[in-house]
Amino acid sequence: MKNKKLNSWLWRWHVIAGLISLPFVLILSITGGIYLFKDNYEAPHLAKINQIKEVKGQPLSFQKQWEVVQKKSSKKPDEIILNKNNVQATRFASGQFATKSTLYLNPYSGDILAQIREKDSKMFKVRKLHGELLMGKFGTKIVELIACWLIVLIITGIYVWWPKKKWSLKGVFLIRKKEGRRNFFRDLHAVTAFWFSVLLLMILMGGLPWTDVFGDYFKWMQKVTHTGYPVTWQATNVHSKSFGIETIPLDSVIGIAKGMDLKGEIHIGLPYKKTDVFTVSNTVGDPHYLEIHHLDQFSGKEIVSHDWNDIGVLMRGRLWFMAFHQGQFGPWNKYLMLLTAIALFTLSLSAFLSYYLRDKKGWGIPKVPKNFTVGKVVIGLIILLSLLLPLFGLSVLLIIVFHYGKKLSANKIS
C-alpha cells in the first residue's frame, strides 16, 4: 500500500516541476531529435566540397600540402584527417568545438577549396539551442537544472504512477482510449513515461557531463579518484625525446598511422614546437575502439600509446553514455534515441493537455495535509541527489528558504 499523504506531496511537486520544465523539455526533445541527424544533413554539402573534380598528375606530398596550408591559412593547422582515397580533398583542422575550422585542400593543385567553420553551420545553432538555449553560460545552467529536475520527475512520476491497490493492464501499462480525453492524455503521459523511464535516465546520464556545474564536479571526481584519462593521453603531457635538425616527413607518419589499422577516422595531431609530438588517434562511434599513439617527431618512434583499457572507470562510463546519448553506436542507437525524443515530446505535451482538461478551479495543484511530515528516507534521497547534482541541491535550498521565509512573514502578519 502506498502512503497517501506522501503520494499527494510527491504528486504536488511532480506537477509544479513539470509545469516549470515543460517548455524547456519540449525544446530539448525537438533539438535533440534533429541533432541526431547532423551527419546526414551535412553529408551531401561536404561531399561536393570533398570530391576532386579534375585529377591531373600526381598529388603533392602530404609534407608539401602541410607547408602550403601553413602559408595560405591564417591559422596553423592542429591536425590532418586522413581520407580513404586520392580523389578527395585533404582536410586540415584547427581549434576545437565552437572554434573548430576545417580547411579543404586540393592535393593536386594546392588550392584551398573551402574552409568550414563549425560555428557557421546550421547544426551548430541547433546544438547551441539544445545545450544552452542560445543564452551562453546562463542558458547552460538552465538546461542543467532542467536535466536535474527531470531525474526528480522520473522518480516522483514512478511513485505516483504506482497502483494504489491492485495492478491492471489498462491505465497502468496500456492507454485507455474510451474513458474521456483527460484520461486518455493522462494515460498517454504516464504509460509512455513508464516505458521510456530507463532510456530517459540513460540519456540524462549522457548529457549531464557536458554541463558546467555537474561537468566540472564530475571532472573533479575523476581527478581525485584517478579514474579519468591517463596523464599521457593528452599530447601536451608527452614530449619528443630525440632532437634533430628536421622532423620526419608527414608522409612517413601517415604511413605509420595507416599501418596501425585503426577503426573509424584517423587523425594526426601536428607538432608546433621541437618538444611536441605527432599524435595518431581515431574518432569512432563505439568508444571501446578508441586509441591514441604519440610519436617522436624526429625519429617517428612511438613514445607512448593508450587504448580503452587504459581509461579510468568514470571516464569510461562518461564516454559510453555520451556516445549513447548521441546515437553513435549505429543506426539502431540513432533511431532508438529519436524514438525516445519523440516519446519525451509526447509525454510532456500529453501531461500539459491532461492538466489543461482538468476541472478548471484554481491551479489544479494537488493539496497536501497540513500535518504531513516528510520521512527520513525521502529526506535522505533528496540529500543524496543534492550531493550528486549540485544545481538541484541549490534549487532545493532556495525552495526551503522561500518556504520558511513565507511562513515567517505570514506569522508576523497574523
Please tell me the predicted confidence (pLDDT) of residue 245: 74
Q: What is the pLDDT of residues 12-39, one digit of tens each?
A: 999 999 999 999 999 999 999 999 999 9
- What pLDDT is stored for residue 410 in this prediction? 61
Mean pLDDT across 198-203: 97
Question: Which is higher by pLDDT, 389 or 371?
Answer: 389
Cα distances (Å, whole numbers) of residue 151 to 28, 343, 380: 15, 16, 16
- Which whole number is the average pLDDT over 89-99? 92
Residues 398, 403, 407, 409, CA torsion sign: positive
What pTM was estimated for this model as a whole? Answer: 0.92
Across residues 303-316, what is the average pLDDT?
A: 97
The average pLDDT across 184-210 equals 94
**Does the pLDDT at position 47 exceed 70?**
yes
Q: Residue for cell digits 516528510? A: 374
Say yes or no to pLDDT of 414 above 70.
no
Which of 89-93, 160-164, 307-311 is predicted least confidently? 160-164
> Model confidence over 354-388: pLDDT tens digits?
998 887 776 778 888 888 888 899 999 999 999 99
* pLDDT reported for residue 118: 93
Q: What is the pLDDT of residue 316?
A: 97
Instruction: Give the residue extent of every domain in the chain.
Output: 4-36+130-216+327-373, 57-108+235-311
User: DSSP letters of 179-226?
Assistant: S-HHHHHHHHHHHHHHHHHHHHHHHHHHHGGGSSHHHHHHHHHHHHHT
Whether the pLDDT of residue 412 is over 90: the answer is no
Model confidence at 1: pLDDT above 60: no
Q: What local confidence, expressed as pLDDT, does residue 169 receive? A: 67
| Residues 276 and 297: beta-carbon distance below 8 Å | yes
pLDDT of amino acid 57: 85
pLDDT band at 176; cut points 50, 70, 90: confident
